[in-house]
Amino acid sequence: MTTVRREAFGRMPPEEGGGEVEKFVLQSDSVRVEILSFGCIVATLETRDRDGQFSDVVLGFDTLEGYTRKHPFFGAVVGRVANRIANGRFKLDGKEYQLFLNNGPNSLHGGAKGFDKVLWSPQVLPNGVRFFRLSPDGEEGYPGDLKVWVTYTLSGRELAINYQAQTSKTTPISLTNHAYFNLAGQGTRDVYDHKISIEADSYLPVDDTKIPTGEVAAVQGTGFDLRQPVELGKHLQKFHLDGFDHNFCLRQGQDRCLVARVFHPPTGRTMEVHTTQPGIQFYTGNNLDGSLKGKGAATYPKHSAFCLETQNWPDAINKPHFPNVLLHPGEEYNHTTWLVFNTA
């Protein structure tokens, strides 16, 4: 059985239009999740270790103020297009679109005010919550009125996140959740003792602004071969990597696939990622620097968390040989990601 509870979490500042932010608490025997109507943010995710003890395994803040200030997308749904678009530019039906540049020369995670920085309309479900918003034509430079639904449901050890959208004009769309995980518990110094595997035969090399070069490279014989579990800290050392911030190319198809698994030996916690998406961005919190005060006054230094963001490939709008990122009127965008928590 999953119970769902809603409560007040805070008010948006007047300059942001005020508005009540609610928190939705989804609870099963083995997982407890708190989700905000602001940015569809997963603010807390508690799961048991092998001794049955609960810990919160996602980074974030205790108050709404933390989330309304600048932060690295902790727990939020990002869009209209997750990840980077080169120079914030793309052409569509002969027209050029210019987006806001918020990541060096590129546009990242929807621009200046993406889906992570707005209030969504909630609807309580028997085992979860569904959020809706209309992204108006021209918002952040994107074409078309886009209706978006993000649904979180909790069944036992499994949290499902479903994304649906419909548009009035052809538009690029790629939605993901940007939760930062540490299976030892949020506030733990690093994730070097985590063992990770990703079911991908290829990945996307990037330029120095993190835009894919266009090459789809085999992981075989490189530090990007994560098909067998590797202990993260030792692996980064062995291959002289500063960390990961790369898209791994998944098997194409609309079926649910197990794409990644993380195991934390000291606590026994495991997390599996299943998805219908064509890519997964593996990010090891390289830009965290300890400057943000998180939950319980924790600080979050570099490599104190990892993200596994299921999505389309970065800059797909400018790379015709990448999976299609366009949604046309009359079509439906519909993808699901499942996070399964267990102990070993």
- Known binding residue 328? Answer is no
SS (H, E, C) 254-279: CCCEEEEEEEECCCCEEEEEEECCCE
- Known binding residue 76? Answer is no
One of 178, 246, 264, 303 is an active-site residue; which one?
A: 178
- Known binding residue 157? Answer is no
- Known binding residue 29? Answer is no
One of 235, 264, 309, 335 is an active-site residue; which one?
A: 309
> Other CB atoms closer than 10 Å to residue 165's CB: what's the count?
22
- Known binding residue 200? Answer is no
SS (H, E, C) the chain: CCEEEEEEEEECCHHHCCCEEEEEEEECCCEEEEEECECCCEEEEEEECCCCCEEECECCCCCHHHHHCCCCCCCCEECCECCEEHHHEEEECCEEEECCCCECCEEECCCCCCHHHCECEEEEECCEEEEEEEECCCHHHCCCCEEEEEEEEEECCEEEEEEEEEECCCEECECEECCCECCCCCCCCCCCCCEEEECCCEECCECCCCCECCCCEECCCCCCCCCCCEEHHHHHHHCCCCCCEEEEECCCCCCCEEEEEEEECCCCEEEEEEECCCEEEEECCCCCCCCCECHHHCECCCCCCEEEEEECCCCHHHCCCCCCCEECCCCCEEEEEEEEEEEC
- 309 as an active site residue: the answer is yes
- Known binding residue 180? Answer is yes
As annotated, the active-site residues are: 178, 309
Q: Write out the binding residues.
A: 83-84, 178-180, 245
Q: Write out the binding residues for beta-D-galactose.
A: 83-84, 178-180, 245
